[in-house]
Amino acid sequence: MQLKAYSHLYRVTYGDCTNGNHVYYGRYPYFLEEARGEFFRHLGTTFQDYHKQGYLFPVSEVQLKYFAPAEYDDELIIECRATMFKGARLGFDYRIKKGSILILEGETLHGCAGANGNVKRLPQQLKDRLQLFIED
């Protein structure tokens, strides 16, 4: 199953950078979170909406691989793609590019839980909307 990517534009801020004018490595998970949140918004239901319905999506794993630095005021394209949505598991992969230059590849895995921390199946509405991103 191949899924289409959602693209999110991000401009690097001064606060994202070190004294050496490159993005601090610890900022990249925030970039991925922003892209994932906007992907959910694009699907029609925000993380906040799911929280109000009693669904949480805690991160269980993060993997990042850095290829090149990004710098202040760079315009980055963050591609976010759902890789798994089954049972109570949800996975995404990411590519961050500056033009044709690959900056980072990453992956996050999430569980689905209720407010009490108990495992819950993914909401059917979310699975249905993610189906729209499957390439034929």
User: In this predicted model, what pLDDT tens digit does every residue of 50-89 receive, in sequence order?
Assistant: 999 999 999 999 999 999 999 999 999 999 999 989 999 9
Interacting residues of 28 by C-beta distance below 8 A, sequence separation 6+: 64, 66, 96, 104, 106
Q: How far apart are CA 97 and CA 92, in angstroms?
A: 17
Antiparallel, parallel or unpaired: β 59-66 and 101-111:
antiparallel
How would DSSP label each residue in 101-113? EEEEEEEEEEE-B
Mean pLDDT of 16-25: 95
* Domains, the chain: 6-131 (3.10.129.10)
Q: How far apart are CA 3 and CA 39, in angstroms?
A: 13
Inform me whether the pLDDT recorded for 115 exceeds 80: yes
User: In this predicted model, what pLDDT tens digit does every residue of 119-131 receive, in sequence order?
Assistant: 999 999 999 988 8
Inform me whether the pLDDT recorded for 135 exceeds 80: no
* pTM > 0.85: yes or no: yes
Q: How far apart are CA 125 and CA 63, in angstroms?
A: 27
Instruction: Point out which residues pair with 19 in neighbouring strands.
Output: none
Inform me whether the pLDDT recorded for 104 exceeds 80: yes
